[in-house]
Amino acid sequence: MTSLTTFDWFVVAGYFLLLLGVALAVVRKQTDTTQYFLAGRNVGFFAIGASIFASNIGSEHIVGLAGQGASTGLAMAHYELHAWVVVLLAWVFVPFYYNAGVFTMPEFLEKRFGPRPRWILSLVSLAAYVLTKVSVTVYAGAVVFSTLLPDTFGSPENAFWVGAIATVILTGLYTIAGGLRVVLYTDTVQAFILLIGSVAITYIGLDLLGGWGELQTFAATSVADYALWRPLSDPDFPWLGIMIASPIVGIWYWCTDQYIVQRTLAAKDLRTARRGALFGAFLKVWPVLFFLVPGLIGAALHSKGLLAIPTDSGGGLVGDQVFPTMVATLLPEGLRGLVVAGLMAALMSSLSSLFNSTATLFTVDVYEKIRPNAPEKHYVNVGRVATFVVVLLGLAWIPVMPMISKGGLYQYLQSVQGYLAPPITAVFLLGVFNDRINNRGAVWGLSLGFILGMTKLLIQAFFGEGKIENPAFLAAIGDFNFLYYSGVLFLVCVVTIIVASRTAPAQPRESIAGLTYSSIDRAAVRASWTRGDVALTAVVLGLVAALYLYFSFWI
């Protein structure tokens, strides 16, 4: 493996100086809270779409997705073909959020149901930060360190933990109080750099391998390991489980998660918000080709002896090492440093945004409701403590992550999201499309869903085959496929929400005006879209269908 050269390090330093300059230039233009939180609410569709894409494609996503491509082929491509779900965001959800004038998704739940669902969603979001954002982001940074600097700190294991802690510390130095506009600009730059690196790896790797035909030949040698669709007998990715769980997670992530939806709320009007989401959907079509396929190329190169990817004790590839290894080995000097800088900057950008979100979420949506009217300085200090605690919990959770899923970073991420998403997806869908759903239904659905999801997660971490196998019923729960469990949990939440809602009076019509499908101003919504929006939607859905059709029969 090629180490980073002096020139590479100069490129890394230059890149960070460039980001610093961009951030400082943007900070000077901000004058009020609307500028800070929603970038003045006058962002164009191109920046919105690019930021939606960039928010999804962080370096932890790329590290995990390439690793998944190497270890399980196209099994996880279903989650990367979620452009059709982003179309749902554009056409179905954005009109409700934008017309409601909300800044956050918990705020929308409060307008629709009352304060208690907002409080519960805030706590669930904090748990999600620990399990899927802090731990995953820091883990990915540590993997990059251990792969690119394996001997610098004595061993790859030492480099891993030095990288994990250094990522957190450096983020504190990197963070600049620039608000959403800085995030929009720097995220876009970093996504562009990572896209360049991934395209370069794909091109160079295919050339070294001998072309696309050689990749198909390699995948065809083990269709069961690399195919898009797996039989029902597959223990990890049965096709029915994928079809059930993938939309549930997709709707939660793309249509109800603050991290994504906030980009559309920064638009100057509803038309721009929708168009920005549609442009983001168009960009979301391509990750399968540029982020998942490179991992498959890495596995093929390794099998030919053209690339040395670390292996585990059983001889299998260590999937999360694939992308860093390909960066260090295949990319030329200079570009290698640029991509490494993009990886680290994206990691720290995600983490800095997370730090701010954690402080705000806990302080405003949780603590301030428990202790109102405290001094501002007290709230600031509480936010700092909350962030520190969340980071510590995220670091402590890292050793548990491999116990949840042996399939690598991306499979772990989808597994945990499969336990967090069902109650939130159920509440938002039913809340928007069914006027009869009320506060009691939302509270019971969110609470029971979160408890059942976290119970499954903890049992899966410690019980099952190769772990603690007694008592047998706990081991069976631990081994129960995460895809099917996501579907069962969603069904339980839907039934709970409907039944609980029927045990309390319906909400007054005036309290939900504009917040449900039957009460929204449809004429205003219709006036906000054009034939161009319909055409772009048709292009996105056509591309998704084409990719599904091709990769269903490519080997």
CATH number, domain containing residue 158: 1.20.1730.10
Q: Taking residues 320-346, what's their average pLDDT? A: 86
Tokens 């409080």 belong to 119
In a domain, 455, yes or no: yes
3-state SS assignment for residue 452 = helix
In a domain, 268, yes or no: yes
pLDDT confidence bin for 508, thresholds 50/70/90: very high
Distance, CA of 291 to CA of 302 (rounded, Å): 17
In a domain, 408, yes or no: yes
Given this model, what pLDDT does residue 171 score? 63
Full domain range(s) for residue 417: 6-552
- Residue 74 near residue 216, CB atoms below 8 Å: no
What is the average pLDDT value for the chain, to the nearest integer? 85
Number of domains into which the chain is organized: 1
Which residues, at least 6 apart from 154, have a Cβ–Cβ distance to it below 8 Å? Answer: none
- Residue 74 near residue 551, CB atoms below 8 Å: yes
Nearest-5° angle of CA 92, CA 98, CA 101?
A: 145
In a domain, 458, yes or no: yes
Winning range, highest mean pLDDT, from 33-37, 177-181, 461-465 = 461-465
In a domain, 1, yes or no: no
Distance, CA of 51 to CA of 279 (rounded, Å): 10
3 state SS for 81-147: CCHHHHHHHHHHHHHHHHHHCCCCHHHHHHHHHCHHHHHHHHHHHHHHHHHHHHHHHHHHHHHHHHH
Q: Taking residues 31-52, what's their average pLDDT? A: 61
Given this model, what pLDDT does residue 172 score? 54
- Residue 443 near residue 117, CB atoms below 8 Å: yes
Winning range, highest mean pLDDT, from 261-275, 343-357, 469-483 = 469-483
Q: Which of 406, 410, 420, 408 is nearest to 465 (CA)?
A: 406
**Whether residue 180 has pLDDT greater than 60:** no
**Whether residue 522 has pLDDT greater than 70:** yes
Structure confidence by residue, pLDDT tens digits, 236-248: 999 999 999 999 9
Q: Which of 358, 394, 361, 391 is nearest to 131 (CA)?
A: 394
Structure confidence by residue, pLDDT tens digits, 65-81: 899 999 889 999 999 99
Distance, CA of 146 to CA of 16 (rounded, Å): 21
- Find the Cα–Cα–Cα–Cα dihedral 274, 278, 283, 286, rounded to 10°: 150
Structure confidence by residue, pLDDT tens digits, 193-226: 878 888 999 999 999 999 999 999 999 998 988 9
Distance, CA of 343 to CA of 337 (rounded, Å): 10
Structure confidence by residue, pLDDT tens digits, 348-406: 766 766 776 677 777 777 788 788 888 877 877 787 787 778 878 888 888 888 778 66
To which H or E segment does residue 426 belong? Answer: helix 409-433
Given this model, what pLDDT does residue 178 score? 43
